[in-house]
Amino acid sequence: MEKYVPDMYKKSIYEIDYSKLKEIGIKCLLFDLDNTIVPYNEKIPSEETVTLFKKLVSMEFKVIIFSNSPKLRVKPIGDILNVEVFGNAKKPFIKNYYKVLNMYKFTENEVAIIGDQMLTDIVGGNKVGITTILVEPIINKDPIWTKPNRIRERRIMKKLRDNNLFSKGRYYEKM
């Protein structure tokens, strides 16, 4: 069950203490796109998101949007936010996590993934051994292909709660 449990759990990307991530040696932030930084049905990031990403870049994080969506969707948003993108990431498969690590020469303990889905973002990150940060989805609406995962996720979250491993809405940071 541990593979489902994130190292940190926050309401949104704005609630994360990025200075603390810096302190523990994180140099690279992989952000999920849909429902993590923009609602899945939006093409333009909010002013708040633009401001946050500017801050993260100025803090000298390597910021990469690491998304299962096609590059066609991811790239224009990356351009607005001035960060690199990796589309078709196929999370939770670990292949492309390692591809990014190798491409930018980061080790597992220098990278964090931030995303709204336990079964893709978090499971993949935990398998690779990077820091995993779960946030709530921006909107409670998912594309049709995410629905089966959300049903499984709800079932797993219930199991995790019964085992005192994770409780929805109870935010924490382990590090």
Residues that bind Mg ion (CB under 5 A): 32, 34-36, 116
Q: Which is nearer to Mg ion, 36 or 96 (CB)?
A: 36
Distances (CA, A) of 7 to 88, 98, 154: 24, 19, 19
Q: In whole angstroms, how close is the CB of 33 to Mg ion at the nearest point? A: 7
Question: Which phi and psi (to 5°) does residue 120 adopt?
Answer: -115, -70
Question: Which phi and psi (to 5°) does residue 167 adopt?
Answer: -135, 125
Provide the 8-state DSSP code for 76: H
Q: How far is 141 from 93, CA to CA, in rounded Å? A: 24
Q: Which is nearer to Mg ion, 71 or 163 (CB)?
A: 71
Q: Which is nearer to Mg ion, 35 or 131 (CB)?
A: 35
Q: How far is 130 from 114, CA to CA, in rounded Å? A: 11
Answer whether 97's CB lies under 8 Å from 120's CB.
Answer: no
Q: In whole angstroms, how close is the CB of 138 to Mg ion at the nearest point? A: 9
As given in the structure block, the two tokens for residue 17 are 């203490």
Q: In whole angstroms, how close is the CB of 121 to Mg ion at the nearest point? A: 7
Distances (CA, A) of 14 to 90, 95, 100: 25, 29, 24
As given in the structure block, the two tokens for residue 25 are 């040696």
Q: Which is nearer to Mg ion, 20 or 141 (CB)?
A: 141
Q: In whole angstroms, how close is the CB of 37 to Mg ion at the nearest point? A: 9
Q: In whole angstroms, how close is the CB of 140 to Mg ion at the nearest point? A: 12
Q: Which is nearer to Mg ion, 13 or 128 (CB)?
A: 13
Strands 84-86 and 62-66, bridge-based pairing: parallel
